[in-house]
Structure 1
Amino acid sequence: MYITSGNKQWINTDGDITVNKGEAIFCKKGGYHVRSFYEEEFCALLFFFPEEFIRDTVLEYQEHLKMFNSSLLDFQMLKMNIDDNLKTFFDSSMMNLLQLKDPSNLLLKLKFKELILQILTSSANPKLAAYFMSTLKEDKVNLRKVMQDNLMANLTLEEYARLCSRSLSSFKRDFQEIFGMAPGRWLRENRLKMAKMRLLSTDENINDIAFHTGFETTSHFIRCFRKQFGLPPLQFRQQNCA
């Protein structure tokens, strides 16, 4: 999303990102809280990419592209660096689309490919470029997607492994390679991040937050939250939302 006027704030387990006029944000598929500001009219240019389209574009131009550090992949949303080429692309795209009542599918496809290639051939957004390149490794991308899409589901590791079409041992091995930690720890830490976000941005009660963030019981949630953040969730909310 490229902002042409106004601003918004995106909130998820990564934290919060405020995007203003002339800035852009990339969000992977998932759940986000969005805070709107009404001092100025909001307008933005949005591009929605199916993962298959990204992968097909990377495959088409693979021999001309460099690889990026796969350790940069662990994000759900990021604020993009807008260099001169990207700014020119966004501004010209906005002008072209405003002038055309019904742009052809071929033109739109070329514009989407151009944006992907702008990211892949520049050093301005290495995390996003690494994510685009990672779509070539379909199995690992699928594991990551399954985990992120089902973070809040109260599933066993065996059930997660089945969702990823792996044995439990291969699931744990591949998970460690992709996320750099054991699956149980990753699930606990990310569920607690989401619970913290909901405590600070909603009026949900503690039982509902525990349920919606994948904890078996409220008491288990409270114990884990206190261990992670030093306070039980209700007291944490009272101290940080005063």
Structure 2
Amino acid sequence: MKIDEKDFGKAFLYSCYVEKVFGHEQFIPEHVVLFQLSGETHFDLEKGKLTTRAGQILVARRNQLAKAFKYPSENLAYQSISIMLHADRLKKYALDHQLSADRKQQADTNILLEGDVFIKSYFESLAPYAEAADRVSPQMETIKIYELITLLLERYPALKDLLFDFSEPHKIDLEEFMLKNYKYNVPLENFAKLSGRSLASFKRDFEKMFRTSPRKWLKEKRLSEAYYLIENKRKRPAEIYLDLGFENLSHFYASFKEKFGITPAAINSIA
């Protein structure tokens, strides 16, 4: 399988695949602008599903969990360019242009847009940067990012409220949050941040709520869900292990047998 992911600068990522690929980046720490050149990206987000198709732009908010599945089209490879809009650059842009958010965005805000001729031309202009990645200086990177922000705001002024909202996640109901998001394979630090807590506070509140440690609970919860899906929904291990937050199939098999004393394949063969 041909795989090509190329970073140019610290904020740009070009992706090209000829077969379906599961994206392992499951925490989005900064706002991201993704332009779909060809194929489709299917996102599994905290508040639902979303698909980007050729010519579309996704502006994804920072501080959220996400899974991405990348599909080539029938005749073309999957291609996309993603640009990370770091908060420090956005703050500098806002200061230079005297901009601020008029209202706080909803926590589940992700905006899907249709690219116009100017925005499409902008992404085409990035091709030389991808080809000469080692020559992209921080100054060049900043210029191209500022250009993108300006184009987006000219075409979609309402994006101001998303891009320049620098508030941090507030403290939320931990039980509801974890039961909704336990399948995401991210560090505990990310769960803590998204629940509006420091890591120490997250662990303390978690153990008070669930009477066990976060790592143990996550493993037990994922394995119990796996058992249910295999026994009742007749799912195959290869179909579910990534969705449930396991990094590879062998790790899933070993963890499953350790907990239940049998392999996943043996469940439905037991009389």
TM-score normalised by length of structure 1: 0.52
Counterparts of 2:226 and 2:154 in 1: how far apart (Å)?
43
Residue 204 in 1 paired to residue 226 in 2?
A: yes
1:139-189 Cα distance to aligned partner (Å, 9 max, x none): xx1234x759994399xxxxx67649xxxxxxxxxxxxxxxxxxxxxxxxx
Aligned equivalent of 2:164:
133
| Match runs of 1:62-81 below 5 Å | 62=98, 65=99, 67-70=101-104, 72-81=105-114
- SS of 2:85's partner is coil
Contact 1:55 1:132 in 2 (8 A): no
Change (3 A) 1:131 1:161: closer
Change (3 A) 1:161 1:75: closer
Identity of aligned residues (%): 14
Change (3 A) 1:43 1:123: closer
RMSD in angstroms over aligned alpha carbons? 4.0
Counterparts of 2:67 and 2:173 in 1: how far apart (Å)?
16
Contact 1:3 1:20 in 2 (8 A): yes
More helix by proportion, 1 or 2? 1
1:118-137 Cα distance to aligned partner (Å, 9 max, x none): 22x325262x32112222xx
Q: Matched residue pairs, number?
A: 158
Question: 1:73, CA displacement in angstroms?
Answer: 3.6
Residue 57 in 1 paired to residue 56 in 2?
A: no
Q: Give the partner amino acid of 2:64.
A: G
Change (3 A) 1:81 1:74: farther
From 150, 161, 168, give the equivalent of 1:142: 168
- SS of 1:16's partner is strand
Aligned equivalent of 2:258:
none
Question: 1:90, CA displacement in angstroms?
Answer: 1.7
Contact 2:40 2:78 in 1 (8 A): yes
Counterparts of 1:58 and 1:148 in 2: how far apart (Å)?
32
Counterparts of 2:126 and 2:54 in 1: how far apart (Å)?
16
Contact 2:46 2:65 in 1 (8 A): no
Change (3 A) 1:93 1:204: same
User: Which shows bigger deviation, 27-36 or 43-52?
Assistant: 27-36
1:182-241 Cα distance to aligned partner (Å, 9 max, x none): xxxxxxxxxxxxxxxx9xxxx73569xxxx9xxxxxxxxxxxxxxxxxxxxxxxxxxxxx
Aligned equivalent of 2:23:
none
The answer for unaligned runs of 5 or more in structure 2 is 1-33, 183-194, 200-221, 230-243, 245-271
More strand by proportion, 1 or 2? 2
From 133, 139, 163, give the equivalent of 1:106: 139
Counterparts of 1:2 and 1:55 in 2: how far apart (Å)?
23
Aligned equivalent of 1:124:
156
TM-score normalised by length of structure 2: 0.47
The answer for unaligned runs of 5 or more in structure 1 is 136-140, 155-159, 165-197, 213-242
From 64, 87, 103, give the equivalent of 1:30: 64
Counterparts of 1:149 and 1:86 in 2: how far apart (Å)?
40
Change (3 A) 1:50 1:43: same
Question: 1:66, CA displacement in angstroms?
Answer: 7.1
- SS of 1:90's partner is helix
1:45-74 Cα distance to aligned partner (Å, 9 max, x none): 111122222112111211xx475443x443
Counterparts of 1:37 and 1:17 in 2: how far apart (Å)?
13
Counterparts of 1:47 and 1:78 in 2: how far apart (Å)?
15
Aligned equivalent of 1:12:
45
- SS of 1:204's partner is helix
Counterparts of 1:148 and 1:21 in 2: how far apart (Å)?
38
Change (3 A) 1:59 1:34: same
Contact 2:101 2:165 in 1 (8 A): no
Question: 1:19, CA displacement in angstroms?
Answer: 0.9
- SS of 2:163's partner is helix
Contact 1:5 1:42 in 2 (8 A): yes
Counterparts of 1:162 and 1:34 in 2: how far apart (Å)?
26
Counterparts of 1:78 and 1:56 in 2: how far apart (Å)?
23
Question: 1:2, CA displacement in angstroms?
Answer: 0.8
